[in-house]
Amino acid sequence: MDNLTRILRVRDAEIWAYEFLDNKDIIVYFSITDLNRKATIHDNPLATQEELDERNNYISMDVHSHLDLKKTLAEDIFDDFITNISALVEHMHDFHNAHVFIHMHVHDKIELTDFQLEKDEEMHGDEKEQLYTFKRLWIQQACFQLVEQQLNRKITDMSNSRFCQDLK
């Protein structure tokens, strides 16, 4: 079993942290964003126009990690991961009229120019712990920024009222 923690819930988006309990070194954040529009070929180049025309909404699931999860995880573990996060969308109010595409974002080249090692290891941890924390926060920030870009609003300006998976 893995651990899912919802970090943010606003009107049209949720951001989650995903923790593999057997490998806590893997950093994963993902977002579920209701874009309130039809999906396009740009959203999923593999979809046909006919497939895109049959549904009125597009929900984007964006997975952020420092590793290529499909290459790093065993196939059954990766499949379980996809199943677990997909289950969150399947219970949404308007799921049956929506296209859901999962996009993987690998942040394996994290810019370390902003990383500064703190000398007090008792307070901040050793170099490995500090680097892990920096990477985790970098990936979390990338996830938040993508949601803001998709919704064309800053998270601080978004309502925390009902998200589409809530019952009406």
pLDDT of residue 54: 87
What's the mean pLDDT when you consider all of the chain?
Answer: 85
Grade residue 121 by pLDDT with cuts at 50, 70 and 90: confident
Per-residue DSSP letters for 37-99? Answer: S---TTT-TTS-HHHHHT-SEEEEEEEEESS-HHHHS-HHHHHHHHHHHHHHHHTSTTGGGEE
Closest CA to 103 of 149, 134, 136: 149
pLDDT of residue 160: 54
What is the four-CA torsion angle of 90, 102, 153, 55, rounded to 10 degrees?
Answer: -60
How far apart (Å, rounded) are the C-alpha atoms in residues 87 and 25?
Answer: 24
pLDDT of residue 64: 97
